[in-house]
Amino acid sequence: MSSTAVKTTLAPARRKPDTGSRRGTAASGALPRLAADTEAPKAAKPPLGPKFAAAAKSVATEVVPPLVMLALLLIVWQILCSRPGAGLPPPTRVLTETWDLIVNPFYDNGGTDKGLFWHVSASLQRVALGYVLAVIVGVALGTLVGQSTWAMRGLDPIFQVLRTVPPLAWLPLALAAFRDGQPSAIFVIFITSIWPIIINTAVGIRNIPQDYRNVSAVLRLNGFEFFYKIMVPSAAPYIFTGLRIGIGLSWLAIVAAEMLIGGVGIGFFIWDAWNSSKISEIILALIYVGLIGFVLDRLVAMVANIVTRGTSSQ
């Protein structure tokens, strides 16, 4: 074989550049850069109209039914009490006769001649003192009864007997002991509202899951740590149920007690209006009592939802 043939055979074949593949590679390589350089379109914000519509619907669902029932109640009351010989005044007459008390609740002419604000304020102060004492003592005794079997066997029957005593039945005993109307009224509030607090706290303590107790034993928590880390969070829904019942009973008790002890207070205002035959003022005071009781209950419920993170409302 000639040298020329050998060189021809061994020489590598020349390949034409594959421009198409390079263009393809370049094109394919440009796609990520183009994708990277191109910003993704921002998500469009939802219109505010549906949000306002949903909020309005929620408010209407909560507000409209009570307003409708209130309007029906006022209409029925107006019709029944507008006839001749009716014992109670219609709402239009109540509004006319008590308008001065409504628009001027802060007047103070000395003695017991005061506006409704001062009567309500005096009652709320008594309720606050008696209720706070009931909360402190009630939670402590409820914890003892719920945690100790011996305490439950010894104290629970006594509590069950005492809680059936009507609130006003304690007032003569309190007047004999304290010889003053102010501490006697506070004691009546205390002794009335403490029982649901004790009972619900004890139930909550007894219903603490055994797993929680086992964890506290593994972690070797002392008594104080076990109380505020295990007991209180677990029993909080039960405790606040008792607190809500207690605040309602406190407000009921103070109105009844003030009718007997006299002085400044919403209960005395109602009794004084009755002695003066001012039925419209009695009706106005009852409306105030109901609204304040509703606000007190909602305040305790709001605190319960914050502390228990909504579990108390379930």
- Dump pLDDT digits (tens) for 186-235: 999 999 999 999 999 999 988 888 888 888 888 888 777 777 778 778 88
Confidence grade of residue 11 (pLDDT, cut at 50, 70, 90)? very low
> What's the CA dihedral at 236, 242, 243, 248 to 10 degrees?
160
Q: Which of 27-41, 62-76, 237-251, 294-308 has the lowest mean pLDDT?
A: 27-41
Q: Model pTM?
A: 0.75
283, exposed or middle or buried, with CB in 10 Å at 0-12, 13-18, 19+? buried
Indicate if the pLDDT at residue 156 is higher than 70. yes
**Other CB atoms closer than 10 Å to residue 284's CB: what's the count?**
22
Please, what's the largest Cα pairwise distance for the chain? 145
Cα separation, 90 vs 74, whole angstroms: 9
Cα separation, 208 vs 203, whole angstroms: 9
Q: Which residues contact 167 (CB under 8 A, 6 or more apart)?
A: 188, 191, 192, 249, 252, 253, 256, 257
Most confident segment among 11-20, 150-159, 189-198: 189-198
Tracing tokens 């394919």 back to the chain, one arrives at 28
Indicate if the pLDDT at residue 310 is higher than 90. no
User: Residue 111: helix, strand or coil by DSSP?
Assistant: coil
Cα separation, 97 vs 276, whole angstroms: 14
Cα separation, 267 vs 272, whole angstroms: 9
Residue bearing the bigger pLDDT, 31 or 263: 263
Contact present, 170 and 286 (Cβ < 8 Å): no
